[in-house]
């Protein structure tokens, strides 16, 4: 066989290997190779048929845009110059600003900016000279940047790699499934996902549940505590929850208004009773003072009488009778003052009791108003949370699994949902499998209760193949097949290793919709890039 024949045989052998692996793992696993008419297209002429995947190759200085059917646009780019290298990894669009200016580089214009990290990496229009020239951002030609800006959405996936890569259609039993569309086939048990079972236990941390919302949820009927079994039921349950909270809010508002009106009456009555008590006090206090004064006069008269009687000389019967009359008169004055006080004390006590009762009623009424205000705020908070959730429900869910730390994190939009530990099948150690992104591009055309998944490997560890062809053309062609094979093999290995608790899989199934993604990596999330307002940023370099 000649050299040409050997080359052809090698090509066929490489192709056969790729097809064999695809049949085993990917069902089917094929690159999405539909190209735009012009490889350096300056606009996205085709309407995306699904969520978009934006793939940037630093070596080729090119960005390619894919939807579920394949590549719909591409363009040259200019990434970070040496010393300002653009990081590789998995990103998403966090913010869009058509007229953004840099707050790092002296107000430099960055038109059609699409932020990838809060530390300053973004896609934006700029000078694209044909080589790496930026300070870390990914510059796009102006017309392409404008077209791309009008097509993308927040949370759109952007993957930056050294070498060029393409999505492949991929399937695996451990890729999560959505809830069934409506009802399960008769006699068939509904399954949220096919996965190894396990329990998350108390280690699962759910986020975004306010105390008010927790109280509101706790008051829901027991039937609402169960998980929905279908997407239609989930929508109905959520709609019912919104309606119930709206009804509760109307009732709470009516109760607050009624309590406020009662409180107004109680406050007025307490004020009137207080005024009457003050009037009675102004009457009783002089009378009480008169009693004290009469008692003092009585005591003075008594002491004068006693002193005169005990005097050894100068006694006079008239004087004694006069002092005795003074004591009698003072005693009569005390008795009269006491009688007058006694008559008014009864009325004062009644006024005092009425005032105390009115004040107690006022306090209780105001406490009831505060309770109704708290109840109203609680329901309002729950309704606000539910309305926010209704917006969040339209956003895809993102799941990140670190094989290094054996941790799963879930976010919907940029909102944290939960974090929990996971285990590995058979307790195996998994390392050097790379970073792989699985995206649910749409509901499967064959099965509406499943997703069509596309795999993009952001990083796959290098492998040495002793049988790699030597000739450059054969090596390049075989390398492409080997790269696809290696990506699929490593991705499948990573999925095979994980064991996600069933309750977490149920949570994911309730949230999952087209555009949702799963990222599995042998790396951890960099803490400085994954704060609030971020989906997931996974750096591979």
Is residue 21's pLDDT more than 60? Answer: no
Q: Number of folded domains in the chain?
A: 3
- Per-residue pLDDT, averaged over 13-41, amounts to 41
Tell me 127's DSSP state: -
Residues 177 and 285 in one domain: no
User: Does residue 422 form part of some domain?
Assistant: yes
Cβ–Cβ contacts within 10 Å for residue 300, how many? 13
User: Does residue 235 form part of some domain?
Assistant: no
The string of pLDDT tens digits covering residues 147-196 is 999 999 999 999 999 999 999 999 999 999 999 988 654 444 444 333 44
Rounded distance, CA 423 to CA 426, Å?
Answer: 9
Beta pairing, strands 70-76 & 62-67: antiparallel
Structural Rg of the chain based on CA atoms:
42
Residue 156, domain CATH: 2.40.440.10
Cβ–Cβ contacts within 10 Å for residue 46, how many? 18
User: Does residue 227 form part of some domain?
Assistant: no
Tell me 82's DSSP state: T
Rounded distance, CA 183 to CA 178, Å?
Answer: 13
In this prediction the pTM is 0.69
- Per-residue pLDDT, averaged over 449-469, amounts to 76
Residues 161 and 94 in one domain: yes
pLDDT at 388: 87
pLDDT at 245: 94
- Per-residue pLDDT, averaged over 317-325, amounts to 87
User: Does residue 224 form part of some domain?
Assistant: no
Rounded distance, CA 60 to CA 74, Å?
Answer: 12
Q: Collapsing DSSP states into helix, strand and coil, what is residue 470?
A: coil
User: Does residue 90 form part of some domain?
Assistant: yes
The string of pLDDT tens digits covering residues 118-152 is 988 999 999 999 999 999 999 999 999 999 999 99
Is residue 477's pLDDT more than 80? Answer: no
Provide the mean pLDDT of the chain: 82
The percent helix, strand, coil of the chain (3-state, each to 5) is 45, 20, 35
Rounded distance, CA 180 to CA 260, Å?
Answer: 48
How many helices (H) and strands (E) are present in the chain, helices listed first?
7, 20
- Per-residue pLDDT, averaged over 446-474, amounts to 72
- Per-residue pLDDT, averaged over 265-281, amounts to 94
pLDDT at 43: 63
Which of these ranges, 22-31, 237-246, 294-303, 449-458, has the smallest mean pLDDT? 22-31
DSSP 283-346: HHHHHHHHHHHHHHHHHHHHHHHHHHHT-SS---HHHHHHHHHHHHHHHHHHHHHHHHHHHHHH
User: Does residue 441 form part of some domain?
Assistant: yes
Between the CA of residue 108 and those of 91, 103, 139, what are the distances in Å? 23, 8, 13
Residue 267, domain CATH: 1.10.287.620
Domain C-terminal end among 390, 406, 423: 390
pLDDT at 24: 36
- Per-residue pLDDT, averaged over 19-44, amounts to 44
Residues 253 and 371 in one domain: yes
pLDDT at 320: 85
Residues 139 and 184 in one domain: no
Give the pLDDT band of residue 210 (cuts 50, 70, 90).
Answer: very low
Is residue 209's pLDDT more than 50? Answer: no
Does the N-terminal peptide bond of residue 28 adopt cis geometry, omega within 30 degrees of 0? yes
pLDDT at 224: 47
Beta pairing, strands 538-539 & 451-459: unpaired
Q: Give the number of residues written for the chain.
A: 541
pLDDT at 439: 97
Give the pLDDT band of residue 40 (cuts 50, 70, 90).
Answer: very low
Beta pairing, strands 95-101 & 109-115: antiparallel
User: Does residue 228 form part of some domain?
Assistant: no
Cβ–Cβ contacts within 10 Å for residue 204, how many? 16
Residues 23 and 46 in one domain: no
Rounded distance, CA 399 to CA 451, Å?
Answer: 15
Give the pLDDT band of residue 310 (cuts 50, 70, 90).
Answer: confident
DSSP 225-243: GSPPSSHHHHHHHHHHHHH
pLDDT at 45: 61
Is residue 443's pLDDT more than 50? Answer: yes
Higher pLDDT, 66 or 211: 66
- Containing structural domain, residue 60: 32-165
Beta pairing, strands 157-161 & 168-170: unpaired
Rounded distance, CA 233 to CA 228, Å?
Answer: 6
Is residue 278's pLDDT more than 50? Answer: yes
Tell me 42's DSSP state: S
Rounded distance, CA 445 to CA 439, Å?
Answer: 16
Which of these ranges, 16-20, 131-135, 247-251, has the smallest mean pLDDT? 16-20
pLDDT at 246: 94
User: Does residue 231 form part of some domain?
Assistant: no
Tokens encoding 87: 């990081």
Domain C-terminal end among 373, 390, 407: 390
Of 49, 142, 153, 141, give the one whose Cα is nearest residue 93: 153
> Which residue is associated with the tokens 């940023």?
537
Residues 480 and 356 in one domain: no
Residues 73 and 191 in one domain: no
DSSP 129-197: -SS--BSSSEEE-HHHHHHHHTT--TT-EEEEESS----EEE--TTS--PPPSS-PPTT----S-----
Tokens encoding 211: 């105390």
Is residue 8's pLDDT more than 50? Answer: no
Of 17, 162, 171, give the one whose Cα is nearest residue 481: 17
Give yes or no for a contact between 511 and 394, defined as CB atoms under 8 angstroms apart.
no
Residues 483 and 511 in one domain: yes
Which residues are CB-neighbours of 284 under 8 A, at least 6 positions away? 341, 344, 345, 348
pLDDT at 143: 95
Of 7, 166, 161, 23, give the one whose Cα is nearest residue 91: 161
Higher pLDDT, 225 or 523: 523
Residues 416 and 378 in one domain: no
The string of pLDDT tens digits covering residues 352-366 is 999 999 999 999 999
Give yes or no for a contact between 106 and 100, defined as CB atoms under 8 angstroms apart.
no
Residues 371 and 451 in one domain: no
The string of pLDDT tens digits covering residues 430-439 is 678 899 999 9
> Which of 35-39, 207-211, 229-233, 396-400 holds the top average pLDDT?
396-400
Beta pairing, strands 498-499 & 205-206: unpaired
The string of pLDDT tens digits covering residues 76-123 is 999 999 999 999 999 999 999 999 888 766 668 899 999 999 988 999
- Per-residue pLDDT, averaged over 491-512, amounts to 92
Residues 256 and 362 in one domain: yes
Give yes or no for a contact between 434 and 490, defined as CB atoms under 8 angstroms apart.
yes
Residues 14 and 121 in one domain: no
Give the pLDDT band of residue 541 (cuts 50, 70, 90).
Answer: confident
Domain C-terminal end among 324, 356, 390: 390
Rounded distance, CA 76 to CA 87, Å?
Answer: 18
């Amino acid at each position: 066989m000649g050299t040409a024949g050997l080359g052809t045989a090698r090509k066929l052998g490489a192709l056969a290997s790729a097809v064999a692996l695809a049949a085993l793992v990917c069902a089917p696993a094929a690159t999405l190779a539909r190209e735009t008419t012009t490889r350096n297209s300056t606009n996205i002429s085709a309407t995306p048929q699904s969520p978009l995947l934006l793939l940037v190759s630093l070596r080729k200085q090119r960005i390619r845009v894919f939807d579920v059917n394949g590549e719909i646009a591409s363009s040259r780019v200019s990434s970070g110059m040496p010393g300002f290298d653009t990081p590789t990894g998995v990103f998403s669009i966090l913010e869009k600003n058509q007229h953004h200016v840099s707050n790092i580089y002296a107000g430099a214009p960055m038109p059609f900016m699409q932020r990838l990290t809060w530390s300053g990496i973004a896609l934006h229009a700029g000078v694209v000279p044909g080589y790496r020239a930026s300070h870390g951002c990914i510059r796009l030609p102006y017309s392409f940047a404008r077209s791309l800006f009008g097509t993308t959405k927040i949370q759109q996936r952007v993957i930056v790699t050294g070498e060029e890569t393409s999505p492949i259609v991929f399937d695996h039993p451990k890729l999560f499934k959505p809830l069934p569309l409506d009802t399960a086939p008769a006699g068939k048990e509904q399954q949220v996902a096919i996965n190894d079972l396990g329990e998350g236990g108390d280690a699962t941390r759910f986020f975004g549940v306010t105390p008010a919302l927790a109280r509101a949820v706790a008051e829901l009927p027991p039937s609402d505590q169960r998980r929905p079994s279908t997407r239609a039921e989930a929508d109905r349950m959520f709609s019912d929850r919104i309606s119930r909270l709206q009804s509760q809010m109307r009732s709470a508002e009516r109760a607050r208004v009624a309590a406020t009106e009662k409180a107004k009456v109680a406050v007025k009555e307490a004020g009137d009773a207080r005024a009457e008590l003050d009037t009675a006090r102004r009457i009783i206090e002089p009378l009480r003072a008169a009693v004290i004064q009469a008692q003092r006069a009585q005591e003075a008269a008594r002491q004068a009488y006693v002193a005169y009687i005990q005097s050894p000389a100068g006694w006079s019967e008239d004087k004694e009778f006069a002092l005795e009359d003074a004591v009698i008169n003072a005693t009569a004055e005390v008795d009269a003052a006491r009688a007058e006080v006694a008559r008014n004390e009864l009325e004062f006590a009644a006024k005092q009791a009425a005032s105390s009762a009115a004040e107690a009623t006022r306090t209780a009424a105001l406490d009831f108003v505060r309770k109704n205000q708290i109840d109203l705020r609680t329901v309002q908070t729950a309704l606000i949370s539910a309305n926010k959730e209704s917006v969040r429900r339209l956003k895809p869910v993102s799941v990140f699994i670190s094989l290094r730390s054996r941790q799963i994190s879930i976010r919907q939009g940029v909102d944290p949902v939960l974090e929990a530990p996971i285990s590995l099948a058979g307790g195996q150690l998994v390392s050097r499998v790379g970073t792989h992104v699985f995206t649910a591009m749409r509901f499967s055309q064959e099965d509406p209760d499943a997703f069509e998944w596309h795999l993009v490997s952001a990083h796959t560890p290098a492998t040495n193949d002793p049988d790699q062809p030597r000739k450059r053309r054969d090596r390049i062609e075989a390398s492409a097949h080997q790269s696809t094979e290696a990506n699929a093999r490593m991705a499948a290995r990573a999925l095979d290793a994980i064991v996600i608790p069933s309750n977490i899989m149920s949570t994911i199934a309730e949230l999952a919709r087209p555009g949702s993604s799963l990222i599995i990596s042998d790396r951890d999330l960099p803490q400085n890039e994954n704060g609030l307002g971020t989906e997931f940023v996974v750096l591979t370099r």
